Structures are given as C-alpha cells and as structure tokens.
Amino acid sequence: MYGFVEEVKVRPGGLVKKGDVLLVCNNQELLAEYEVNEARLAELRTKYAIALVKDRVQVNILLEEIGQVEAALARLQERVDLLTIHSARDGVFVL
C-alpha cells in the first residue's frame, strides 16, 4: 500500500481497541484507477444488454470482459481498503 497519510484518527498515546481506525491514507492514482475500471464495467454492462438483443455472439465476449474487469475491481478494492489502517489489537497508539 502506497499513499499519503491524510488523517490521523487517534492521538499518539491514545487507547485503541482492536479494529479501531488509526490512519486514513490517500492514493489519488489508485482511486482514479478504480473509478476508470468502474466506468469500464458500466460501459461493458450496457454493451452486454444491447448485445443480448442484437448480437448473441458478442454476448460471450462481453461476459468474459466483464469478468476480467470485475476481478480487477476486486483487486483494486482490496488495495483501497488498505488505505484505512486499523489497530491489530487493543493497546496504546504509538505514531
């Protein structure tokens, strides 16, 4: 995970519980890549809906592309989720 710390949610020395959000990071490049893939998926789904009526051969091709973009979005979402840093255990936050 690469990014810049955007917000520190807990003051250093503060008590935290497992799962508490400690830091929120920002990676504009990653977020832009995610948005591009979301737009591509919407475009493919529209093409798929049209192909169902007009071009049954194209349907299988589009289904494969949709699957690839959905998989890419899932990988990107995992990376986006890592931009929010959670406490691994109860304790004192040290920065």
pLDDT per residue as tens digits for the range 15-35: 999 999 999 999 999 999 999
Sequential DSSP letters for 20-36:
-EEEEEE-HHHHHHHHH
Nearest partner of 87 among 26, 27, 15, judged by Cα: 15
The pTM of this model reads: 0.82
The pLDDT confidence band at residue 49, using thresholds 50, 70 and 90, is very high
Q: How far apart are CA 10 and CA 13, in angstroms?
A: 8
The torsion angles phi and psi of 5, rounded to 5 degrees, stand at -65, 120
